[in-house]
Amino acid sequence: MRNESLARLEPALVGHWTLTLSDAWFLEPAGRELSGWAVVEWLGEAFLRFRSELDGRPGYELVIGHSDARDGYAALYHDDRGVSRLFQMSFGDGGWSMTREDPDFYQRFLAAVAPDRIEGRWEASEDGGRSWRKDFDLTFVRTDRPG
């Protein structure tokens, strides 16, 4: 039986997406964008799996689950650098957020969700969340074709 809480995310997330990373402080030259794709699909009946690729290289992966006891979502993150992180996640009312407050630094993803477009940004804080700097913008546009 499918996880009911994750099934509520299916219309908004499951499918194929084009992906654009922009306005990143670490990309040279300024204004450079990376393009790619993302796929969100069911992993069994209890998880959603998010895979991505940017500029022909593996991007990051998320596995999204739900805790019934805590009534909250969680996302396990992994990328091609070998980095693994755990994010608390919320989704609803046109918004999607993922946050982590770990000893190395705080990080968050904040996005506006429309039926065929998600516009978000990743931010980081080195001072316990008192101030935030934007890392980059991430835009998803739904497509019918696989990545």
Which stretch of DSSP H or E encloses residue 68?
none
pLDDT in tens, 113-127: 998 999 999 999 999
Segment 52-96, tens digit of pLDDT: 999 999 889 999 999 988 999 999 999 989 999 999 999 999 999
> Per residue, what are the HEC states of 74-111?
EEEEEECCCCEEEEEEEEECCEEEEEEECCCCEEEEEE
Q: What is the DSSP letter of 70?
A: T
The reply to whether CATH 3.30.479.30 applies to domain 4-143 is no
Q: Can you give the residue ranges of every domain in the chain?
A: 4-143
Task: For 13-60, write each residue's pLDDT tens digit.
Answer: 999 999 999 999 999 998 999 999 999 999 999 999 999 999 999 889
